[in-house]
Each structure stands twice: as C-alpha cells, then as structure tokens.
Structure 1
Amino acid sequence: MTDETGWHTTRLKRALRARGCEGRCVDLADCGFDLTRHWHGLSIPGYGRELPDAVIVRGIAGGSFEQVTLRLGILHALRELGVPVYNDARAIERSVDKGMTSFLLHRAGIATPAAWVTESAPHAQRIVMREGAAGRALVLKPLFGSQGKGLTRAGHVDGAPAALPRLAPYGHVAYLQRFQAARTAPGFDWRILVVGGRAVAAMRRISAGWIHNVAQGARCEAADIPPALADLAIRATAALGLDYAGIDLMPAGEDRADGAGAVVIEVNGVAAWRGLQSTTEVDIAGLLVDDLLQRRLGIPLLADAVQGSAA
C-alpha cells in the first residue's frame, strides 16, 4: 500500500520476486468498502473477490480526517479478515501520533525526553515559560508530522528567551518535547532500523543545524550498533507493537561510544530507508520481506533466494 511509487517500492517488488512472490502497488485512496460486490466487503483495485496474501504499508497519503480514517479503516478490515498487515493500522496509529508515542515509551520505562501535549495555548505558554526559566529549550512539533518539517524551538534558546509560536499551523495542538542539545560539533543523532525484533542496521545523521533529518540536509554516516542502543531501539519498537520501525535516538549527557544514556526522540512506523541503505551492504528490503514471509506468513525461505538477494 503506497501513495507513490519509486525507489522503495521498486526495492520491495524486486525482493518479493527473488522469493517467488508478486508485489503490486495499490493506493489506499483507491480502496473502499463495498458490501454488495464481494464476500469480504472490500474494494481493492486488481483483486476483485480475492484478497492479497499480505500487505506491506509503504505510504498513506495525507488528507481530511475522514479520508485518513477510511484509509486506516481498510487496513483494520484487512487484519480482521486475517490478512497480515505489516505494520498494521493499530501500530501505525500509535507511531504517527507523537503524543501517544511519548506516552507509550514512558509507560514502558524507555528513556525518552519529557513531553507535553495540550490543546490549551495558555497552558502551553506556561510550560514554555517554566522550562525557559529553568534554562531549558523545548521543541514544538506537529502532532502528525515527519521528515523534520514544522519543527521550532521555544523557551531558553541559544541564550535568549523564545516565545511559543501561534498554534493554528499546528492544528491548535501543542506537542512540546524537551530539547536534547547536541554534544558534538557538528551534532548528530542515530537512526536504527529494527525488523522482526532485531536491530539490523544503523547510521549517524550528522548536521550543522539542530535538526538531523536527511530530508532537511543531514549527512548519513555508517555506524555500528552498540548493544545499549540496540536494546533501546528494540524495546521502543515493541512498546508500539510495530513489526519494523526506524528509531531515532539522541545522546544524553556525555557522548559515549557505547550509546549508554541515549534517549528515544522519534519512532517511525512507516520508515523510509534510502539514506540508511546508502550506508550499509545489508539488503533492507530483503530483510523486511523475509520477516513478513517467515514470521507473519510462516513461509520457509528458499536458500537460493537468500543468496540471490545477498548478491
């Protein structure tokens, strides 16, 4: 399921072909419910009375509340019909809502920055003033957002007070996360990919600015996966019930090579991996497909497919 085809879908389809499977791209916006045509009550282009054996969610287009609800409803329905959805709608809903992500990480005892979510602008302003008076900065983020878009800081920023912006561009909701300053120059964070309960690849995202997203110009650098970071990333993925996830972590306090003291700042349930793939020889699309086929569908993997993918 994807709202756009390109590099990621080509990789996934190639990995599926290497394992004797066929991958088709379908936009959730083209799907719907039709209780009169087929036994399953769904309308999915190209499938008619049949259903896919499994679904990989690669992208969900934005839209109105009603449109997004319908698209997620299709994924919920597929799960109810016994079709494995990777990642399923429940997990995606948790990971795209930054407030729920922070809550679930906190509830699971996973190190993550302090965060506040409120519809009240006066309440948000009091939080900013209190944190600023203590010499701390906060990051205001869109509750539903990705790729570092719409991020701004408030509170005590670069030695001076910074006011809370208007909340209208943020849907009248303030998601405020305590800012984790870089401990090096240039600064960096880690992106770790977790697939099927294993940390399989990692990189450092390095940037002269305080935002470390690749889409905002950060540079990707290969990185080992220290056990402390792997454990943190795996636990964060499990806390949100994700099959796979891109976990973003920041050093906290002293920047230690073993990753101790890091905190989880983001969990990405529909994670892109083009930047990460540029830093590793691991076939990420192949790992995703293998996990889906073996763990979710119970299909044993052919040795020649594995060797062909690795080559």
Structure 2
Amino acid sequence: MSLRIAIVTDDPGWHGARLRAAFAARGCAVRLVSLRECRLETGPGAPGVWLPGFGGRLPDGVFVRGVPGGSLEEVVFYLDILHGLRELGVPVVNDARAIERTVDKGMTSLLLHRAGIATPPAAVVTGAGEARRRVLEARARGGELVCKPLFGSQGEGVVRVTEPDQLPPAAACRGVWYLQRFVPVAGRCHDWRVFVIGGRAVAAMRREGEGWVSNVARGGRCEAALLDDTLRSLAEGAVAALEMDYAGVDIIRDADGRAWVLEVNSVPAWKGLQSVCSLDIAAALADHCLRRCAGAPAALEALP
C-alpha cells in the first residue's frame, strides 16, 4: 500500500510541483493541503486532527512547505495542527517546534548562542528608547546594527542602522526591535546559503548582492559553492542545535575570514540553489521524509 503524504502549502508553485513529483515518483499518494482547511477534532471516533482529502484518517507523513500568516490566534491554530499531528504519531518535516524556533529570530539567536555556534551578537528589545540606546552603543564602538523584522524572510524589511533615526518606527516592527550586529565583508556584499537535510550539509551556493543584502529574492546572484569544512560544520551544528529535519542556513564571512551564522530558515526556498547544483533537492527531501515515515510508529487513527 502506498504511503499517503500531505504537503502543507498555500502556494504550491515551483517548489510544490517538484515535491509532489518527487513523492509520486516514489510511489506515494500525495495531497496538497492548506492549514486553513484543517481542523482539530476530539471525541469518540474523531481523528484528533482532520486534513482535507484523507477521508478522516491521518496521513503517513507531512512535509511542511509553508505556514500561512494571520492573526495571533490563527497562527497558533496552524501550529497546533502541526503539533497535534506529531503528538498523534505522524512524522512532520519540519515540525512545529522547529518552525517556532526559527521563525522567531530572537529565539534562533538565543539557541545558537547557547550551543556555542558563531552568530553575530543580537538583542531583542521593546521600547524605542532602549533600541536607540543600542544603536548609540554600537556607533560608539565603531560598529553598525541590522534591524530585522522578528518574523520575516527573504530580506524584506531589513534595515542597516548607523543612527537612531534610521530605526523603524514602533508601528512598523510592532513595538519589538531585533537588532543584530552588522558583519562587514571583504569586497562586494556576499554570503552563503547551505542546505542541510537529515543532519548533513548537502549543497551550498554563494550569493552576491548589488547592495548590502544578498538574498536571491532581493536580486542577489547565486553561484555554486564548495562545501568546505567550515561551512559544513557550522551549518550542521546550527541545524542540530535547533533540532530540525532540514534547513537553509545563511552564513557570512567577515573581513578577517571568520564565518558566522546569520539566520536559519525552516521553510527554505531552493529554486536558486537548484539552478547551480546537480543534487535533486526535492528528491533528497522526499527521501528523508520517507525515511522518517519508515522509522516512525504507526499513526493513531483516532482518539478514544
């Protein structure tokens, strides 16, 4: 009997098509699922978590390609669906715990620092006065800060700050400022994206931007990169510290050549990386997910 796999996404696009084809090529029955359409259901004969297209039964595995935004209550509910699936014995890649650790940049920085992973010093503060004080402290040391949305990706809303007046207003960052030390590099702005699956770094690319942000989504150019020992060990260590099935790890080297982990993405895009590497990334992700399914206890079909 073929395994039933749910791919969680609201915008299948290129990535959803690649994943669907990879799972189908391995004999799986695949369904694209939006968390907006899922339900928590308890009571006699109820599945606990209901997903559309599975006839009231639980899937054999879930691959998370995207979590929709919304109100606090909506986002908590979407994550509760993923938490519930895990509690019911369904392998979820990446699960809600990993997503929570990485969608929140402050928690990511804390956990990386705690694990001894080289990551630029960061502070998360409330209050415009405290944020301004941090900028002045950095300026006094001859440094700069990068202010990022606490929840955000693809370089959107990122601001390089040298003066307090450059800080986003409270309304723009919802009263919370995430401030990370700016890491200057030698030459044009560039960094590395390392893709880790199942604890192993499998591919990497070098990204170079026109300005100081090098994300591919912001116009950065990508090229294949050699996975040297430093990139490999730093990326694998970061993913291990955050307990993730797979991730895109952004690494930068400062002007002295020291490598730092900037961010870890639990729902990374890989279209740019796929264009410069020979590994079939969707196939590798599907294989890892299926290995998780094979090693998991049978999912509970219903709550008592």
State percent identity of aligned pairs.
54
2:42 match: 35
The residue identity in structure 2 corresponding to 1:294 is: R
Q: Residue 101 of structure 1: CA displacement?
A: 0.1
Counterpart residue identity of residue 143, structure 2: R
Residue by residue, what CA displacement relative to the aligned partner does 1:143-164 show, whole Å, maximum 9, x if unpaired?
Answer: 00001000011126xxxx7642
The alpha carbon displacement at 1:170 in A equals 0.7
CA contact (8 A) 1:139 1:152 kept: yes
What is the deviation of 1:49?
2.4
Cross-structure match for 1:225: 227
For residue 186 of structure 2, what is the aligned residue in structure 1?
A: 183
For residues 225-251 of structure 1, what are the alpha-carbon distances to aligned partners after superposition, in whole Å with 9 as ceiling and x for unaligned? 001110000000011111000000000
CA contact (8 A) 1:137 1:155 kept: yes
Contact 2:50/2:58, CA 8 A, preserved across alignment: no
Scaled by the length of structure 2, the TM-score of the pair is 0.92
Supply the distance in 1 between the matched residues of 2:120 and 2:294 (Cα, whole angstroms): 36
Structure 2 counterparts to residues 58-97 of structure 1, below 5 A = 58-97=65-104
* Superposition pairs of residues 63-142 of structure 1, within 5 angstroms: 63-142=70-149
Counterpart of 2:295 in structure 1: which amino acid? Answer: G
Amino acid at match of 1:171: R
- Alpha-carbon distance, 1:265 to partner: 0.2
- Structure 1 counterpart of 2:15: 8
2:294 and 2:217 mapped to 1: Cα distance?
34
- 1:1-311 to structure 2, matched below 5 A, reads 1-36=8-43, 38-155=45-162, 163-185=166-188, 187-255=189-257, 261-298=258-295
- The TM-score with structure 1 as length reference comes to 0.90
Q: Distance in 1 between matches of 2:156 and 2:210?
A: 17
Which structure would you say has the larger RCO, counting Cα contacts within 8 Å and 6 or more residues apart? 2
C-alpha change, 1:115 and 1:231, in structure 2 (3 Å) is: same
Q: Which letter does structure 2 place at the counterpart of 1:179? A: F
The count of aligned residue pairs is 289
Tell me the C-alpha RMSD between the 2 structures: 1.5
Matches of 1:132 and 1:167 in 2, distance apart?
A: 21
